[in-house]
Chain A
Amino acid sequence: MSRFATSVSRRATPGIPWLVRRILAGVLVLFLVSVLLFLVTQALPGDVARIILGKDATAEQVAGLRQRLGLDRPVVVQYWHWLSGVCTGELGNSLQNGEPVAGVIGPRMLNSFALGLISMVLILPLSVLIGVFTACHRDSVPDRVFVAVSSLFTALPTFVVGMLLIAFFATSALGVLPGVSNIPPGDLPWWHPAELVLPVTTLTLMGVLYLGRLVRASFIDAMNSEYVEMALLKGLGDRRVLFRHALPNAVAASLPAAGLVAAVTITGVVVVEYVYSYPGLGTGLVGAVNAHDLPVMQACVLILATAYYLFNVLADIFAVMGGSR
């Protein structure tokens, strides 16, 4: 991202042609992702028809199902059938239960995006707040604690953080929050705020501890810059220097990273959902992989990849804007 963004920023402010090129590149990337996923699923051990029918089915029954599902056709034909369906808005049916894919993943998509969005809404202001505060109190106890804790949590896998939070807040110590985050079918996630607390906290914690450090570093750079020194020499007040000069530049420098954090958060929900049994795209994807349910798997991956790509583009745009600034 950064190399690309830098090259763009050297040229000019992003325009419509640049955006169109990025979107076309994104479509190409998604196409390649779908081809790769299709090939990977073909290489996985196990026959989908056998998985659906179970071990008690006879070879004739398995062959019959393979034919009904179109699995006996050449791989290219199967892929074309799926791709042409996607292009016309028809995602096909789940191989596991015959339900339309849109119906299977629709509610899950809403749950995942709600989780990601709430987390991002918390991550961005908290990162700025903590980053600026620790930068302003550099080498103080809170600053040292923040740096130490963020180093520790950045080194920990997300699922470990999730398990620690479950043990502390739900099952072993305090017992004040739900240990799993089941959203009943048909319910909207925000109807169950208690169930959202721990997954959102996990994502927010990981995001804030990473982005907060970047904001802190940017802010320290800004405070050491010549224009801030000049402003101070001109006799401007500390508050004015801080909020009118240093802060906007520090935040602008951190915005590309914020776009990336958003992308990582969207894909990070896969792990968080699994840890908390949260019914989103991540848990849907894990189930689809286990069952070789290609249509559901493709849809989940493409949605996550699209979100990831869009946030990357956003990060590029911020980077370019920052460069032109």
Chain B
Amino acid sequence: MPALLCAVLAATVLAACAPPRRAGSGGGTLRVATVTDAGESLNPYASKQSPTQELRSALLYEGLTRLDPAGRVEWALATDMTPNADFSVWTIKLRPGVRFTDGSDFTSADVVASIRYLRAPEHAAQGLAFVERIDPNAVEAVDGLTVRVGLSRPFGPFREIWASVLLPMTKAGSAPGKPIGTGPFAVRTFAAGRGSTVERFDGYWGNRPKLGAVDLIEYQTQQAQANALLSGQVDVASSTSPTIAKSLVGKNDIELLDSKGDFTLRIGLNTTVAPFGDARVRQALRLLVDRRQVVSNAFGGYARPANDHEAGTPQCPAPDLPQRAQDIERAKSLLAEAGQSTLAFTIATDGLLPGMQELAQVFAENAAKAGVKVEVSRVTPTEFLAKWGQWPVFIDFNPVPYLPTVLGSLLPGRVGNATHWDDPGFVGLAGELFVTPEARQCPIMNRMHGIEYEQGANITPAFADVLVPHRAGVRGLVPDVNGRPLTFLTNVTVGG
């Protein structure tokens, strides 16, 4: 009898200690290591979104348009957008038969509510800069699947803007508390700073993913992500430095997805701080850079040289400007002309992304050849943010396509424009671009790139690849020119 009691007691204790069985999802679960973000939420309109939150949002929510892996804009929740004659009013046709993950229909009322939420300044939505031209009082539902959007100023590239992951459509009234989207996945579990699980939404209107679920598991460091991958605890590491990537490839059946795209790390020169307001000084500093050294030393070879302007678009590649190369003598001459032969300054960086500090150090070495003294100051991300817009020289990054870049960080007065660059020629061309039909935008963009190349306030030495190491059993991943390959999971499968 005592033995029986002991056995029952032991069984009870063991049962209490055992984990509950988790409901499995047909199609397998992809385990993705991501960066910890204790401040994250499910709100896709949040004012500050980490790569982890953006990745999850891309799986849960959709915009009116979207970018394919080659960077081309394609229709998503909208099927057509028609402007009036002067691009000041747009009529959006919505895709019929789309359902939210709670089973309700997606209608024009949801689009109106989403746009008004985005447009309200008090919500401080991160994508606000892209929709500032929308007049919130002129957004109306024409019928169940048609929305009319009035703008305060004409704007031609309307279709492109809606492809941003920061401008998704959610069910009216559901944001910010429990936003409901139309994406291919729905939230199963979420714990801020720890991780989340999203499962396939079988009522999705488009091609349903083969995966049953995606686990986003958050780790504090890239090294921890790499360790998790090496020991088989995750299938994919979402972010890694070139150094770590090189050390992983070939070990334990790990492969590398290399997205060669338009992601830039750049050195910003604050034009309101002397002598960086002088275009000759800016040009001289650009001539100091050995771009091949930047590619090999700062990015471990996983990059390609850039030419001091942002990338083009699939429809409009960057113009064929002469590739800028290191020219110490010409740089010295320009500095002497500007009276800055003994120039010395400090580059501030928070080292948030792989390659940032390395880029600053390579630049400092290059500059020394012309007698320019450059120090690299690593500050905390909080301090970097606190003095945003005040740093004389700083390392910045840009992960978005050209039009959002212009709107967000190249035009004067934008918070993202920490160089305070204000070129009348560039501003004029941007205004022209915004009222030009899509088919005629390319020559204007080329001229804008030319001004960046000649007068710009950013030194853009390289386009960095985005590296995603994964286990060999993960099939169907595709490289993405915008550096977000994990948002394209439709054909991804997980093997043994």
- Which stretch in B122-130, B444-452, B469-477 binds the other chain? B122-130
Cβ B227 vs Cβ A274 within 8 A: no
Q: A97-B39, A290-B381 are in contact. Are A56 and B47 (CB under 8 A)?
A: yes
* Nearest chain A CB to B57 CB, angstrom units: 15
* Most chain B CB atoms below 10 A, which of A54, A274, A284: A54
For the complex formed, measure the closest distance between the CB of A217 and the CB atoms of chain B, giving whole angstroms: 37
Instruction: Give the residue among B18, B126, B192 with the most A Cβ atoms within 10 A.
Output: B192
Contact of B415 among A58, A175, A192, A276 (CB under 8 A): A58
Given known pairs A54-B385, A190-B17, A191-B18, the reply for A182 and B228 (CB within 8 Å) is yes
B217 at the interface (CB under 8 A from A): yes
- Say whether B224 contacts A96, CB under 8 Å: no
* Interface pair B227/A180, CB less than 8 Å apart: yes
> Which parts of B229-287 form the interface with A (CB within 8 Å)?
230-231, 233, 252
> Using Cβ atoms and an 8 Å threshold, which residues of chain B touch A177?
231
Is there a chain A Cβ closer than 8 Å to B219's Cβ?
A: yes
Kindly identify which residue among A55, A274, A279 contacts B194, using a CB–CB cutoff of 8 Å: A279
- In the assembled complex, the Cα of A94 lies from the Cα of B121 at a distance in Å of 23
Stretch at the interface among A29-37, A39-47, A240-248, A249-257: A39-47
Residues of A within 8 A of B122 (CB): 61, 64
B228 lies within 8 A of A179 (CB): yes
Establish whether residues B39 and A55, one from each chain, have CB atoms under 8 Å apart when the complex forms. Answer: no
**Cβ contact within 8 Å between A184 and B231:** no
Task: Please measure, in the bound complex, the distance between the C-alpha atom of A185 and the C-alpha atom of B416, giving whole angstroms.
Answer: 35
Docked complex Cα distance between A184 and B231 (Å): 17
| B424 contacts chain A at the CB level, 8 A cutoff | no
Q: Is there contact, CB below 8 Å, between B39 and A96? A: yes
Q: Which residues from B are CB-within-8-Å of A99?
A: 192
Q: Which residues of A contact B482 (CB under 8 A)?
A: none
- Could you tell me the distance between the alpha carbons of A288 and B38 in the complex, rounded to whole angstroms? 8
If A182-B233, A277-B219, A287-B36 touch, whether A166 touches B382 (CB-CB below 8 Å) is no
Contact of B382 among A57, A178, A287, A292 (CB under 8 A): A292
Q: Is B321 at the interface (CB under 8 A from chain A)?
A: no
Cross-chain contact B231 with A45 (CB below 8 angstroms):
no
How far is it, in angstroms, between the C-alpha of A201 and the C-alpha of B217 when the chains are bound? 24
A45 with B383: CB separation less than 8 A: yes
Residue of A nearest to B383 (CB): A45
| A interface, over-half SS | loop
- The verdict on A225 contacting chain B, using a C-beta distance below 8 Å, is no
- Chain B 2-38, CB-CB to A under 8 Å as 1, else 0, gives 0000000000000001110000000000000000101
User: In the complex the two chains form, what is the Cα distance from A129 to B205 in whole Å?
Assistant: 66
* B contact residues, total (Cβ < 8 Å): 47
CA–CA, A192 and B227, complex, Å: 17
Does A187 sit within 8 A of B, measured CB to CB?
A: yes
Residues of A within 8 A of B129 (CB): 56
Given contacts A53-B48, A179-B228, contact A185 B39 (CB under 8 A): no
Tell me, rounded to whole Å, the shortest Cβ–Cβ distance linking A159 to chain B.
11
Inter-chain contacts of B224 with A (CB < 8 A) = 179-180, 276-277
A187 pairs with B386, CB closer than 8 A: no
State how many angstroms separate the Cβ of A185 from the closest Cβ of chain B. Answer: 3
Determine how close the nearest CB of chain A comes to the CB of B414; give it in whole angstroms.
Answer: 9
Contacting pair B19 A187 (CB below 8 A) = yes
Measured CA separation A191–B385 after assembly (Å): 40
Contact (Cβ within 8 A) B220 A55: no
A288 to B219, alpha carbons, bound, how many Å? 15
Q: Is A171 an interface residue (CB 8 A)?
A: yes
Would you call A170 and B230 a contact (CB within 8 A)?
A: yes
- Minimum distance in angstroms from A95 CB to a CB of chain B: 8
- Chain B residue numbers with a CB within 8 Å of A104 are 192-193
Query: Are A54 and B191 touching (Cβ within 8 A)?
Result: no
A180 to B129, CA, bound (A): 39
Q: Would you call A157 an interface residue if the criterion is a C-beta within 8 Å of the partner chain's C-beta atoms?
A: no
Q: Could you tell me the distance in whole angstroms from the C-beta of A39 to the nearest C-beta in chain B?
A: 17
In the complex, whether B84 has a CB less than 8 A from a CB of chain A is no
CA distance A172 to B126 in the complex (A): 41
Instruction: List the B side residues contacting A52 at CB < 8 Å.
Output: 39, 47-48
Residues B221 and A277 in contact, CB atoms below 8 Å apart: yes
Q: Note all chain A residues with C-beta closer than 8 A to B418.
A: 55
Bound CA–CA A180/B408 (angstroms): 38
B189 interface residue (CB < 8 Å to A): yes
Chain A minimum-CB-distance residue to B36? A287
Residues of A within 8 A of B228 (CB): 178-180, 182, 277
Task: Report if B41 contacts A (CB, 8 A).
Answer: yes
Complex: A276 Cα to B228 Cα, angstroms: 10
Contact of A53 among B36, B124, B217 (CB under 8 A): B124
Say whether A290 contacts B195, CB under 8 Å.
no
Bound state CA distance, A53 and B217, in angstroms?
24
Complex A-B, nearest 9 residue pairs according to Cβ-Cβ distance, in ascending order: A54-B48, A46-B382, A179-B227, A185-B191, A96-B39, A179-B231, A191-B19, A45-B383, A171-B230
17 A-B residue pairings within 8 Å (CB atoms): A45-B383, A46-B386, A50-B385, A53-B48, A53-B124, A54-B385, A56-B126, A56-B129, A57-B48, A65-B124, A178-B231, A179-B224, A184-B194, A191-B19, A277-B220, A287-B220, A290-B381
